[in-house]
Amino acid sequence: MKKISLLLVVVFFQSCQYFEKQIPSEKELLEKQLKEINWKEVDEYPSVGDCDSLTDKEARKQCFFDFLKTKIQEKIGVDSLSILYPELDTIEVRVTVNPDKTMSFEPQFPQDSVVYDKVKIDSILKVKLVDLPQVNPAVKRGIPVKTQFILPVIIKAQK
């Protein structure tokens, strides 16, 4: 009988170790969670009303990019850049969508490009790309965030 009770006492003391786990501090938990977040990806891409009904993340992203390319092409392709630079068929535009739903546009050129007047093209973009439909910013963990991306915009179709 003494052997059984001694064995029970030993088992009881050994099992108490399982209750002595360290509870991580809030700071440790936060640091661990921040390391797990992919800061280069957003949970939801920017969107416009026409694309909001789509539930697939990639389809919604593509819808937004297509919508924005079309709107930019409509505004700058017809009368401004195509007349100034008839040889220019496509321009890359850096689009920035801010958390406050504002957007900015900046033309992108190769580092060694001296053919185009960057200041003139930038000013055309600023003048022409106003009154675009409201854009909902990208979202990361429920918070609106700033996003930037490069859109190739066709100025005129190849002949």
The answer to whether the predicted template modeling score (pTM) of the entire model surpasses 0.75 is no
Q: Which of residues 19 and 139 earns the better pLDDT score?
A: 139
- Cβ neighbours for 141, distance < 8 A, ≥ 6 positions apart: 37, 43
H helix runs in 17-117, sequence order: 26-36, 57-76, 81-84
Q: Given the structure tokens 């280069």, which residue do they identify?
A: 40
Q: Which of residues 95 and 22 earns the better pLDDT score?
A: 95
Residue 77 pLDDT exceeds 80:
no
Q: Which of residues 12 and 42 earns the better pLDDT score?
A: 42
Q: Which of residues 8 and 78 earns the better pLDDT score?
A: 78
Of 67, 39, 36, 74, the C-alpha closest to 51 is 67
Q: Given the structure tokens 């490069």, which residue do they identify?
A: 150
Contact 84, 77 (CB under 8 A): no
Q: Which of 57-61, 73-77, 78-82, 87-91 is the least confident region?
A: 78-82
Mean pLDDT of 148-154: 87
